[in-house]
Amino acid sequence: MANRPPASGSARVERIPVAVLGATGSVGQRFVSLLADHPWFEPAALTASERSAGRPYGEAVRWVQTEPLPPAAAGMELGPTSPARTAGCPLVFSALDAAVAGPAERAFRDAGHTVVSNARSHRMERLVPLVVPEVNGDHLGLVAEQRRTCGGAGAIVTNPNCSTIGLALALKPLVDAFGVEQAHVVTLQAVSGAGLPGLPGLRILDNVIPFIPDEEEKIEAETQKILGRLEPGGVADHGIRISAQCTRVPVVDGHMLCVSLRLSRRARLPEVREALESFSAEPQALGLPSAPSRPVLLLDAADAPQPRLHRDLERGMAAVVGRLRPCPLFDVKFVVLSHNTLRGAAAGALLVGEQLVARGLLPGRVAPTADRP
Amino acid sequence: MANRPPASGSARVERIPVAVLGATGSVGQRFVSLLADHPWFEPAALTASERSAGRPYGEAVRWVQTEPLPPAAAGMELGPTSPARTAGCPLVFSALDAAVAGPAERAFRDAGHTVVSNARSHRMERLVPLVVPEVNGDHLGLVAEQRRTCGGAGAIVTNPNCSTIGLALALKPLVDAFGVEQAHVVTLQAVSGAGLPGLPGLRILDNVIPFIPDEEEKIEAETQKILGRLEPGGVADHGIRISAQCTRVPVVDGHMLCVSLRLSRRARLPEVREALESFSAEPQALGLPSAPSRPVLLLDAADAPQPRLHRDLERGMAAVVGRLRPCPLFDVKFVVLSHNTLRGAAAGALLVGEQLVARGLLPGRVAPTADRP
Amino acid sequence: MANRPPASGSARVERIPVAVLGATGSVGQRFVSLLADHPWFEPAALTASERSAGRPYGEAVRWVQTEPLPPAAAGMELGPTSPARTAGCPLVFSALDAAVAGPAERAFRDAGHTVVSNARSHRMERLVPLVVPEVNGDHLGLVAEQRRTCGGAGAIVTNPNCSTIGLALALKPLVDAFGVEQAHVVTLQAVSGAGLPGLPGLRILDNVIPFIPDEEEKIEAETQKILGRLEPGGVADHGIRISAQCTRVPVVDGHMLCVSLRLSRRARLPEVREALESFSAEPQALGLPSAPSRPVLLLDAADAPQPRLHRDLERGMAAVVGRLRPCPLFDVKFVVLSHNTLRGAAAGALLVGEQLVARGLLPGRVAPTADRP
Amino acid sequence: MANRPPASGSARVERIPVAVLGATGSVGQRFVSLLADHPWFEPAALTASERSAGRPYGEAVRWVQTEPLPPAAAGMELGPTSPARTAGCPLVFSALDAAVAGPAERAFRDAGHTVVSNARSHRMERLVPLVVPEVNGDHLGLVAEQRRTCGGAGAIVTNPNCSTIGLALALKPLVDAFGVEQAHVVTLQAVSGAGLPGLPGLRILDNVIPFIPDEEEKIEAETQKILGRLEPGGVADHGIRISAQCTRVPVVDGHMLCVSLRLSRRARLPEVREALESFSAEPQALGLPSAPSRPVLLLDAADAPQPRLHRDLERGMAAVVGRLRPCPLFDVKFVVLSHNTLRGAAAGALLVGEQLVARGLLPGRVAPTADRP
């Protein structure tokens, strides 16, 4: 188990100031919304493109969340996406587009910030952890090595692709209990996964698009790294073989994956069930604020999970599994649903940030409190 | 009745070469699709932005029609949107964005082309006819005056906004029979009306957007002009007072309008019904190729018209009316549906082009034949 | 102002036992979900059709809410829909279908229960109040007269049709400030308004249905009664003239209404705005648990309100108004959105129940507390 | 090759009278619509439930097709679903619900009719052919044996489940060329596959349902039989092993299947491609009226096939394949789309009927003509 941060009765009063890069986009808005009530983090800087910098957030943003725009954020002045104005924020959450995230996030790291990024730009770099906190929080051990190599207090940590996260969460207990050698995955992904503007309404209404650029490759590569073993100097691939087919469906939020697995050792269905249902990990043990009480939820209804009904269970932080049964070709198959803009993006990144703090990896900062009511 | 073009048995063999400006957009694609089988017009030039010019149409276009891309068009080389390469096309159909249509269409007119435009740029100009062929084909009389003023053989003729066309078609028989003084209109418009990319899927799924920029103003102003009286030097507004509220709904094709009318003289419902059902005009009399056999279709089912079921009736060229009944506040109310990318855009513009030819307004050209099987 | 119930520090400990009739349907499920955390009411009896009676609620229901089925409710045994087993529940919420609600609700009244019904069966009866708590809570005065006439402690109180409620809330401040003589209403209603099974998916995908049986008549008649004046022996119609056109759109929750109004006296737009924004009524003054802080929310964004983004504001209890502007034909027009299964059904009925208690109209019961945090 | 029916110049004048059982349902409506213009078959009897029998078809039906109700059909009197009134129809198309199809279709067979059924009731019976004309037209050989066994001129022939047909069409050329040992299938099925009322709109909007009762079993069992070898007394299973996961998505028409295959012998991708593209079979050779010119269409666009864009290609009769590529776990994978209410139901059954006639299996009838323009 990780080092438990020293709890302190008075710590709660002082939240850690954080910055959100790319705060006006759809993922950036989720960060702003979630940070409004966050017990550990306080949004102290919001950045946007040059065009919007200097304007109040509430004026520059085209708010598309169902929660109202937090009044405190509405009045904040947007800064440019550069480290010049975020000196007081040791922790930075990046909702930048992959098109600009690469150099921008490096600049923040060079300036001493610890960046938790939702973009794909740095995910596959050797010293950059690609983390699902319940699955491979130990990969955060790369942060120290990254700091030594880069020669500063900064670091980049990444959150996986939104469809990979649900898969990794559902695989982890089975990898631990039985080993998993092959995964056949067909995804039915929500339109919010493409951000804004994303997919035109005219293309997705009454339609399915059986192709999402680069998505199948991401699932295949990222899962390898997430399930891989931490070694000095990087992560050794897990060795699982994956075949992914990705589709986009007319659903607002919630990625569904139809998964068939070849296990390393024979397992009876009740054992598989038990492994999934009993799964709990460091975020649950530490009571991290964004952690779900159960990271994998198993539903028994014949027609579950469904995006509209189940994406918000556990505040959108669980991998919701259903239709668990034997597979005539592999060993076991099931359907898994996860909320792509909560667990799969902003809230998932916050959980990574919390884990960084809880593991004492944010220099000079401790978790305000590790207890939850 | 207009001048009937001299019919000629051999005329059918030679189609009139036409150009399509902005052929890669969604309306441009409709033009290309409809022209493939057109009995009078032959697509001889397709233009696009500089970026696509020089490439074969089939490679440059991202085809989103349900009909296959016509093989003949696939092989055509895209030209730039300038009159340099369209010399042989007396008739030009413009599917340009309003952002560029203004000067571009003027350039084609200056070069001697007769342009039928789907863009809003020139609609409200004094000498530019804004035409729904069944409603105000006589306004094409402005073409001669426009040519005199501009000093050439070229002219610009325009097709109304996609939501105005259905309204104008349904109003015309009532204007003729009873007079119409006021129209209260609430629209439920399809996403294809916004073109591509248009409205993001994330904004329209499970949603309604109660605002379409400039749309209400267009309905109010264009209807005035379409129903207006042709006078020397322009069109005198009709005088009808209109209140429009426009909404966008998650429907692919088909604009629905909920209409309440104040008539100039008292009319019993059977009279209104009779006026709508018996409506027929010049395009029907001349048997223009794109003309519907009945421009106004009245449906009796309690829950008609519906976009998905009824938008394609009469090949998408009719105003489909239902729920005709008295209005407690006005005199009569009904629901009208029209296909926004057929009658409301490409096919409607073709019908205007046909009417131009049939009326002898395309210099040196006669209709290949005015007969339809 | 109504009699304020005596506040009592210890009152909160004892909640009033209530029954839900028709608890397995979609509105019934909403009642069960909302009652799980209700500070005043405790679900003590759930009823269903004979077929389901005797089974645990969690087994008999096909749960379609996004909130999980409350564990306490899951274990409750469903009773038949008759007063035999609800003796301990002075207050009964009815989510029965109109097809059976008429005699069933009378039976509960005869047995001494006060029934708050969501069905249309009794809405237009002379001594039955039809209540929107912020609009005509005074109509609850009919309860005493109804009890005298029926000779018992029981009564029937009704909640309006789901599309009428948003209209009534938006009209009330304008009726008070300026008078309203005419209302032209076009609705775009969500599919949840038709319950389950309701409209087939095959009929509503990529479609609009411009007809909802009896809905236009309900809006016209119910608004008359809600805005009407309480008199001995019943309610005098308000006299407003209404024209309604109802449509069903592919939206899950949230009814949108496009409204144009003729006012009794001239009003400038800022005055109309001020009247809407400052509106507050008895439920707000009493701090009833289900009351929104602002019953009418005015949004300034050009494209607001939108069902998906705004239906949940104020926990789904507000009438959300946008696009306020002058009407070329009437005086003023706007768009109003309300959540049809929260304010428009279950949560709205709970608010009526709370108002009954707060006004001392539930024999022998006082509000557990009138304070809210 | 099958016996070619004697062509006859005058045959076209006399169409074969046919009956449609269950003509008011959604599949029945498709039959009526398609038969209106059919060159070989003439709709001579339409049947419905007792409740509708005796009424004109046009009054009893709730028409939900996009083509107008054929006027000739509108005036036909509906009969009860019994052989009493269909004596003159040697061929009967059944669109009956599985709930009633079993005994009803047997009654028609006993009365000497040849029934082509869309219901699942008799599909797996030993002597009942389950036919996709391009795949296993030879299985119609069972008809003679069935007639001998049942002792009459009647027979039952069946059309597979709507999701199986597209799979069988795409598999057939690969089975012939390389052998197929395993198929992993995930379906994304349209709501029209569930008929009317089918899935409630409230359950499918903004949602996916990852379960369709009995569908996975049907795909697994029916594919075995369709690909199986005709033997005396029945069909020997093919032996392919199939794993199916079925989902319902918010799409009107068009079932999409994500397929991964293990082939019996190694094949390079260009060979697979060639096998699919060159596929042609008896219906194409005979020029049957409902046959597509190409039963398998291979699309090259990266994001094809898509239900809305491609379901109507080849008049809805093709299996449209895209995204063909190697599979990391199996040998090859692709996406296949087929129109579930055309090829997958009514039009597919008509093609079976045409094949019966062309093979001379309708006693005393020959194909009016086997030529197509």
pLDDT digits (tens, 9 = 90+) for D303-349: 999 999 999 999 999 999 999 999 999 999 999 999 999 999 999 99
pTM metric for this prediction: 0.95
Active-site position among D38, D162, D238, D339: D162
Please tell me whether residues B251 and B136 are part of one structural domain: no
Please tell me whether residues A90 and A101 are part of one structural domain: yes
Please tell me whether residues B151 and B180 are part of one structural domain: no
Question: Please, what is the average pLDDT of chain A?
Answer: 94
Active-site position among C162, C184, C310, C339: C162
H helix intervals, D178-316: 201-204, 215-226, 269-277, 282-286, 307-310
pLDDT tops 80 at residue D35: yes
CB-CB neighbours of C9 under 10 Å: 8
Stretch A324-336: mean pLDDT: 98
pLDDT of residue D368: 67
Please tell me whether residues A182 and A50 are part of one structural domain: no
Kindly report, residue by residue over C296-306, the tens digit of the pLDDT.
999 999 999 99
**pLDDT tier at C365 (50, 70, 90 boundaries)?**
confident
- Pseudo-torsion of CA A184, A187, A193, A198, nearest 10°? 120
Please tell me whether residues C82 and C215 are part of one structural domain: no
The reply to whether B365 falls in a domain is no
pLDDT of residue B11: 41
Using an 8 Å CB-CB cutoff, list chain C residues near B241: 328-329
Please tell me whether residues C26 and C153 are part of one structural domain: yes
pLDDT tops 80 at residue A370: no
pLDDT tops 90 at residue C367: no
The reply to whether A364 falls in a domain is no
Kindly report, residue by residue over C181-223, the tens digit of the pLDDT.
999 999 999 999 998 899 999 999 999 999 999 999 999 999 9
Domain hosting B315: range is 162-338
**pLDDT tier at A371 (50, 70, 90 boundaries)?**
very low
pLDDT tops 60 at residue D58: yes
- Flag if C309 and A64 touch (Cβ within 8 Å): yes
pLDDT of residue D4: 38
H helix intervals, A111-260: 133-136, 142-150, 162-177, 201-204, 215-226
pLDDT of residue A363: 83
Q: How far is CA B134 from CA B220, B261, B355, B369, C30, in A?
A: 19, 20, 10, 19, 52
3-state helix, strand, coil in chain C (%, to 5): 35, 25, 45
pLDDT tops 80 at residue B95: yes
Q: Are A340 and A193 in contact (CB under 8 A)?
A: yes
The CA distance from B137 to B144, in Å, is 14
Which segment, A8-17, A208-217, B80-89, D4-13, is predicted with the most confidence on average?
A208-217
Our count of domains for chain C comes to 2
From chain B, which residues contact A within 8 Å (Cβ)? 26, 64, 191-192, 194-206, 250-252
Using an 8 Å CB-CB cutoff, list chain B residues near D302: none
Please tell me whether residues A233 and A253 are part of one structural domain: yes
Please tell me whether residues A245 and A354 are part of one structural domain: no
Kindly report, residue by residue over D179-191, the tens digit of the pLDDT.
999 999 999 999 9
Please tell me whether residues A172 and A301 are part of one structural domain: yes
Please tell me whether residues D149 and D250 are part of one structural domain: no
List the subunits that have 3+ CB pairs under 8 angstroms with C: A, B, D
CA distance B67 to chain D (A): 7
Question: Best residue in D62, D66, D191, D202 to probe C by mutation, most C CBs within 10 Å?
Answer: D202
CB-CB neighbours of C293 under 10 Å: 13
The reply to whether D210 falls in a domain is yes
And the tokens for C370?
A: 């009138």
The reply to whether B366 falls in a domain is no
pLDDT of residue D364: 76
pLDDT of residue D13: 52
Please tell me whether residues B179 and B42 are part of one structural domain: no
Stretch A43-68: mean pLDDT: 95
Kindly report, residue by residue over B271-282, the tens digit of the pLDDT.
999 999 999 999
From chain D, which residues contact B within 8 Å (Cβ)? 64-66, 68, 205-206, 252, 308-310, 312-313
Tracing tokens 């350039």 back to the chain, one arrives at B107
Stretch A74-83: mean pLDDT: 96
The reply to whether B74 falls in a domain is yes
pLDDT of residue A369: 55
The CA distance from D85 to D105, in Å, is 14
Indicate the residue type of A366: V
Angle at C334 between CA C332 and CA C336, to 5 degrees: 140
The reply to whether C367 falls in a domain is no
The reply to whether A192 falls in a domain is yes
**pLDDT tier at C368 (50, 70, 90 boundaries)?**
low
Please tell me whether residues C77 and C209 are part of one structural domain: no
pLDDT tops 70 at residue C170: yes
Stretch B332-352: mean pLDDT: 98
CB pairs under 8 A between A and B: 70
For residue D76, is it left (φ>0), alpha (ψ between -120 and 50) or beta?
beta
**pLDDT tier at D6 (50, 70, 90 boundaries)?**
very low
Stretch D124-136: mean pLDDT: 98
pLDDT tops 60 at residue C338: yes
Quote the percentage of chain D above a pLDDT of 90. Answer: 92
The CATH number that applies at residue C65 is 3.40.50.720
pLDDT of residue C11: 41
ipTM over 0.90? The verdict is: yes
pLDDT of residue C371: 47
pLDDT tops 80 at residue A5: no
Stretch B200-219: mean pLDDT: 97
The CATH number that applies at residue D204 is 3.30.360.10
Stretch A153-175: mean pLDDT: 97
pLDDT tops 80 at residue B312: yes
Stretch D225-229: mean pLDDT: 98
The reply to whether A368 falls in a domain is no
